[in-house]
Structures are given as C-alpha cells and as structure tokens.
Amino acid sequence: MMLRNAWLLARGFHAPVCGDVEVLDDTLIEIDADGVIGDVVRPTEARYEVLKSAIEGQGILHRLPEGCYILPGFVDCHVHAPQYPQLGSALDVPLEVWLHKYTFPLEARFADLAYARRAYDLLVADLLANGTTTALYFATIHQEATRLLADICLEKGQRALVGKVAMDHPENCPDYYRDASPEAAVEGTRALIDYIFAHPDNASGLVKPVITPRFIPACTDAALEGLGQLAQECGCHVQTHCSESDWAHGYVLERHGMTDAASLDRFGLLGRRTMLAHSNFLTASDMELLKVREAAVAHCPLSNSFFAGAVFPLRAALEKGLHIGLGTDISGGPSASMFEASRNAITVSRMLETGVDPQKSAAERASGAPARIDFRHAFHVATAGGAKALDLPVGQFAPGYAFDAMLIDCNAPGGTIRLWDEAETSDDLLQRIIFTASKGNIAQVWVAGRAVAGTGIADQAA
C-alpha cells in the first residue's frame, strides 16, 4: 500500500536515542503527499481519540494486520555495489591480496554496462527486500556504470548516496583498473556530481553524489588534494576507508607519517558529511579529531572479522558521542542483511569484552573495559544513528522525517521469527525480531511512503 496523504495506525519500534527503544502502540502517524511524516500522535495525548475518529470517518486510516510491526528502514552506511557478484566468496586472503586477486578484476568488469545492469538491478532489489531503505554506495571508477547505479536507485525508489570510486595511484592500483591521472579522478567525480544533481527524475534529491577516494593507499596526494578541494567547494558527502587493517593503517603511517584520520583531515576530507568505513585502528586523538569534525564511522563488524583482524570499539565510540552508522561492507562482509550486521555488531562486541583465547584465564582473556552493546544500540546504529551520521532526515518516526520503513510480519510462514505465547508489543519482541528476522518476514518496505519491496500484505484501509 502507498502511504502518502494518509494516516497509519501503527504498532512498532524506533530508537531515536542510542540505547533507548520507544515502543509505539496504536500510534497515529500522518504521512503527507511527499511521503514525509507530518504528525505522530500517541494514545496518551488528549487529542488522540477525537482525531482518530475523524480520520476513520474520512476513510484515510490504514491499519496493520495482526502480528505486524513497523521499524524504520535500515541505513546501510557501507556497500560496494560492484562486489555483489562475489558475495559469499573470495574470503580466504588478506585485504591487500584480496583487492588485487579478486576485487579489482571484478570491478573492472563494470566497464561493460550490460554486466553492470545485471549486478546493480539485483543488488538494489535485494537490499530493498532486506529492508535497506538508504544505502551509501561505492561504485567503480567508471562514469557510465556509476551513473547507471544512480539511475537504478531512482527507478526502484531506493534512497541512495552514490560515489564514483577515485583511485589513481600507479603503484597500488593495476594498469587495467585505475583513473588515468589525478585530474581524471577529480574531474570524473565532478562529472558524477553534476549528473546526479541535474537528473530529471531526482528533483526530490532521493539520490545524492559522494566524493569517494577509495582509501589513501589507492590515491596519489594530488588526487586527495583535488578531492578535498572539491568537497570544500560543493559540500557533498565524502566516503573512504580508514585505518581498516594493520596493513592499511601501517601503509599510511609510513607514507604520510600520520594516521589516516589526520591525513584525510589535512586534505579537507574530514567533515560533518564524511563517512569513514571500518576505522578499527583509530587512536585516541583520531577519535577526538572525528568528534571535533563531526565525521562519522561506518562500523562493519562482519567484514572486520575477515579483513581487519580486529574489532572496532563501538561502545567506546558511542560513549564518546561519535556519529556511527552500521555497514554490511558487501562483499568484504558476505551478507546483504542489516539484521545480520546488527547481530554481528552485538556478537563481536561481546567477544571484544571477554576476549576469545581459551588458553588464557578469563581475567587475562578479557579486554578490561566494558565493550558489549545490546540489541538496542545495534538497532539505533542501524537506523537513526546511521541517518544522523549521514545528516539525512530518516531513521525514526517523527515529524519532518521521511516515512522510510519496513513492516515486519512475525507470523510469516516463510520467515524465521517464531513467537510462542506472547503477543505483546515490548522491548523483548524487538529483541526477538533483531535476532531472528529475515527477508521472509519483511512484508512491505516503504521509501518516502512509496511501497518499493516486500513479500506483500493485504491492504486493510478502513
């Protein structure tokens, strides 16, 4: 069902504040003609009953079927769109080998637009079906294929931020897959920005361009400088990989004599709209710098287990007040589901806290500081936290925010949620959803009130 110029009688959950979950029970949500939330009225408010009767009388009140709950759509803060064809494979070697052995050859294939369409059509449809209503994408170095990714997001109605990858370093990028020069990297980025802003189907700004230096090792200083100037000029989002693995972190220390964060900062690449993927090896002063610049981290727990050899200290970063989103890092992370990313974030935080080497005593094994997060933090980071990190008005049910949401059907036979006796709308129900939901439970997905995916529900408009 389309939810524009409509009211929804909603049951569900959102987490505008990290660590807290608000349970919405019989809450009235007004959605305007553009798919933006106009009003949210809880049953405790004096005006509730009269308003509800009036809306019912007008026949514009939509009710949710039994056993169904709304959640804000997921905000995936780190996706490599062209890596979808290798999802679930190529996980056997370290990052610096993986790039040259598997990933650069795969990404180079996106010079072929037919191949790009096949991969991007499937990816965007699958992410929407998994409840991802906003995605921050790395594409490839190619102008045409990257434009096509933006086109496909617009066609399918996914909110997206799309970056042409900039990588021009002749020593660290292969001849067959590299920007021809620093100028080509910067001008190619500028051309994509112009294309997305001028797109005839993008008047609402559903798709945004992103300045995307792949990571410092792949870029010359001249390219980083040019991209930093461009970022200052246009105010666009910026994304890159930051201090991901020992190798990547060490390379930048050696080449620039400083950390990734410090180096990106001097190029003008660290600002309120910067998203740094991974960032596992941030120092205390890097964290301070990110806080001052209001730059964000995309935590990618599954990918980090394969390529980083370390766990990002999510709890410490949240307690410091950094902007944090969650990412699948397709295909470094072999899952397209933000439910799985949320579960992985919880799991690895427990392992970071306790340590994992059974040869050591519990005391020796432990990290010494509290590091665990629970489903409430994971849910926040996967929705409202990522949205705030990207400076986008989505991720929660509040006036002025777009109605980007998913409907979870707890009774879907093809799903993986199995409830027993309880049917109450409670925190614990959200916990069960976070830990056990899958695509088969996602009955409907909306972006700005427009139905874009889902296994389907009966329209029960009163």
Q: Give the residues lining the site for ligand GUN (CB under 6 A).
A: 80, 95, 99, 103, 214-215, 241, 244, 303, 307, 329, 332
Nearest approach, Cβ of residue 304 and ligand GUN (Å): 9
Amino acid at site 250 = G
Contact between 275 and 298 (Cβ < 8 Å)? yes
Nearest approach, Cβ of residue 96 and ligand GUN (Å): 9
Nearest approach, Cβ of residue 80 and ligand GUN (Å): 5
Q: Which is nearer to ligand GUN, 134 or 331 (CB)?
A: 331
Piece of 181-189, 218-226, 274-282, 349-357 that binds Fe ion (CB under 5 A): 274-282
404 lies in the site for Fe ion, by CB under 5 A: no
Rounded Cα gap, residues 437 and 410, in angstroms: 8
409 lies in the site for Fe ion, by CB under 5 A: no
Contact between 186 and 166 (Cβ < 8 Å)? yes
Q: Which helix (H) or strand (E) holds 267?
A: none
Instruction: Name the DSSP letter for residue 461.
Output: B
Longest C-alpha distance within the chain, in Å?
Answer: 69
220 binds, among ligand GUN, Fe ion, none (CB under 5 to 8 A by kind): none
Q: Which of residues 119-148 bind Fe ion (CB under 5 A)?
A: none
Rounded Cα gap, residues 218 and 100, in angstroms: 12
Task: Give me the residue whose beta carbon is nearest to ligand GUN.
Answer: 332
Task: Give me the residue whose beta carbon is nearest to Fe ion.
Answer: 329
Nearest approach, Cβ of residue 73 and ligand GUN (Å): 24
215 binds, among Fe ion, ligand GUN, none (CB under 5 to 8 A by kind): ligand GUN
Q: Which is nearer to Fe ion, 332 or 449 (CB)?
A: 332
Instruction: Kindly list the distances between the CA atom of residue 418 and the CA atoms of 166, 266, 430, 436, 454, in Å, as whole numbers in the listed order.
Output: 46, 52, 13, 8, 19
157 binds, among Fe ion, ligand GUN, none (CB under 5 to 8 A by kind): none
Rounded Cα gap, residues 133 and 124, in angstroms: 10
Rounded Cα gap, residues 224 and 226, in angstroms: 6
Q: Which is nearer to ligand GUN, 11 or 214 (CB)?
A: 214
Nearest approach, Cβ of residue 176 and Fe ion (Å): 20
DSSP alpha helix (H) spans, 163-300: 182-198, 221-234, 246-256, 260-266, 284-293
Could you list the residues that contact Fe ion (CB under 5 A)? 277, 329
